[in-house]
Amino acid sequence: MNLGTLPWRRAVVLGLGASGFSSAQYLIERQVDLRVLDTRDNPPFREILENAYPDVPVHCGIYDDAHLNGVDVVVVSPGVSLSDSFLKKARSRKIEILGDIELFARACPAPVIAITGSNGKTTVTTIVSEMLKAKGLDVRVGGNIGRPALDLIDDQIPDVFVLELSSFQLETTSSLRPRSAAILNLSADHMDRYDDFGSYANAKKRILNNAETAVINVDDSNLAQLNISVGVQKISFSLSCPVSDQDYGIQSDGLHEWIMRGSQQIVRTDLLSMNGRHNILNALAAIGLVESSGYSVSDRMIKALTEFRGLPHRCEQVLSKDGITWINDSKGTNPGAAIAALRGMGRPVVLISGGQSKGADFSQFADAVQRYTRQVLLVGEDRLWIAEAIGNRVPVTLADDLNHAIRLASRWAQPGDAVLFSPACASFDMFKNFEHRGDVFRQLVQELIT
């Protein structure tokens, strides 16, 4: 592999998770003198790094700015806030600060399709990659899912990279030039890290700065009037009729509802295997990204789209019994995700929510609860606060735990209802992560209901 050279002699990698290890490995292989720092006593990749590169110093626990002496660049992991005091000291010394996506962007040898948004990122990233693979292309997928972006670069140059990117990753990225980039939606998330919603939204919008084409959800009020940089083509998608011949939407022919590009029918919405109206938006975004990147959509690619059944923990049907459908949406880690799930159910809902709220605003969530649910069961650390936000809009019950909530939901749900587990919160108060939380829900439903 032609590793190339980098303009720095000495670097610090701050944070030793998956992306931190990937960044460290990338720098070491290019002969950069490196030290690695992490506030945790035993970060996930410490042992792996020390075994693979025993000469690289790793400092865990409290550290000070002496580690910046002689350093040219700090590569910061997404989990580390840019307001960190160590990074403030690095800035005061005029030391460059960037992340692994910026390293990737500076070395990227092939076109990039980039996706961000508060919700739906992984689903759209996966659909895009499956459609392109169905076309026979060599596709590398990663970023905020799967493999870190730097691990995707090797001697074999692919046809295209498809990257899911978080706001944290975009904060430190300035050189990425996607062929097409999408912001799927914007709703309050990570308010425990950002000063306000505007700061969070601005981080997301960085994905469009150098894009050739911006693919934008104009149904989202936070995106509808988005100002796009000069030279960036804008394409919209919506659950309404397409705005112009280059935009995407849906329209009925009197018999079927179709996904459209302008006046051209692409695929019937009833042929999609994914549940929920929000997944029609995801399909629209995926098609828009693929076509705006220069790949015409073939029958084989449409087949890949229609056969895609969605990902685990995202409006995943767990069970249908006695006319009641049980849905696992554990990936709904913020109010916006839960609102989208509620809108997509198309039937009365008994909702199970709760967890760690991350400082989010639940006012719009409360309005959606009033519109779409008959009963709400709340679990987790912030259930009292969420209950206060809902007020007396619908009956609310505080459950002891997920087991208790499922038992109560089974009593109150009626034939034709959906019991939707969409927490609108982070999982770390009671579970390892959202996957663990969803697995527990799935297992409990199978045990208690069947």
CB distance 85 to 143 below 8 Å: no
Output Rg (C-alpha) for the chain, integer angstroms. Answer: 23
Is residue 229 scored above 90 in pLDDT?
no
Asked if 121 is an active-site residue, the reply is yes
Q: What is the pLDDT of residue 2?
A: 47
Provide the mean pLDDT of the chain.
96
* pTM of the complete model: 0.91
Catalytic residue among 67, 119, 121, 278: 121
125 exposed, middle or buried (CB, 10 Å; 0-12, 13-18, 19+)? buried
Average pLDDT in the 310-331 region? 96
* Catalytic residue chosen out of the listed positions 67, 190, 234, 358: 190
- Asked if the model's pLDDT at residue 345 lies above 60, the reply is yes
- Lookup: tokens for 374: 């008959």
What tokens appear for 365 in the block?
A: 């969530």
Percent of the chain's residues with pLDDT above 70: 99
Residue type, 155: D
Residues 20-64 pLDDT 10s: 999 999 999 999 999 999 999 999 999 999 999 999 999 999 999
Q: What is the pLDDT of residues 378-420, one digit of tens each?
A: 999 999 999 999 999 999 999 999 999 999 999 999 999 999 9
pLDDT at residue 4 greater than cutoff 70: no
Please tell me the predicted confidence (pLDDT) of residue 370: 98
* pLDDT of 1 above 50: no
Q: Which residue has the tokens 């809108």?
A: 343
Task: Calculate the CA dihedral of residues 38, 42, 48, 53 and round it to 10 degrees.
Answer: 50
Using CA atoms, how far apart are residues 345 and 125, in angstroms rounded to an integer?
Answer: 23
190 an active-site residue?
yes
Predicted local distance difference test score (pLDDT) of residue 315 = 94
Domains of the chain in start order, with CATH, are: 10-97 (3.40.50.720), 102-307 (3.40.1190.10), 316-449 (3.90.190.20)
3-state secondary structure of 434: helix
d(CA 131, CA 129): 5
Q: pLDDT-derived band of residue 3, with 50, 70 and 90 as boundaries?
A: low
Q: From CA 15, how far away is CA 12, in angstroms rounded?
A: 10
pLDDT digits (tens, 9 = 90+) for 243-302: 999 999 999 999 999 999 999 999 999 999 998 899 999 999 999 999 999 999 999 999
131-159 confidence digits (pLDDT tens): 999 999 999 999 999 999 999 999 999 99
313 an active-site residue?
no
In this model, does residue 430 exceed pLDDT 80? yes
- Distances in whole angstroms, Cα of residue 362 to Cα of each of 130, 168, 329: 35, 22, 18
User: How does DSSP classify residue 356?
Assistant: B
pLDDT in tens, 12-21: 999 999 999 9
Q: Return phi, psi of residue 287, to 5°.
A: -65, -45
Edge to edge, the sheet with strand 58-60 lists 58-60, 33-38, 10-14, 73-76, 96-98
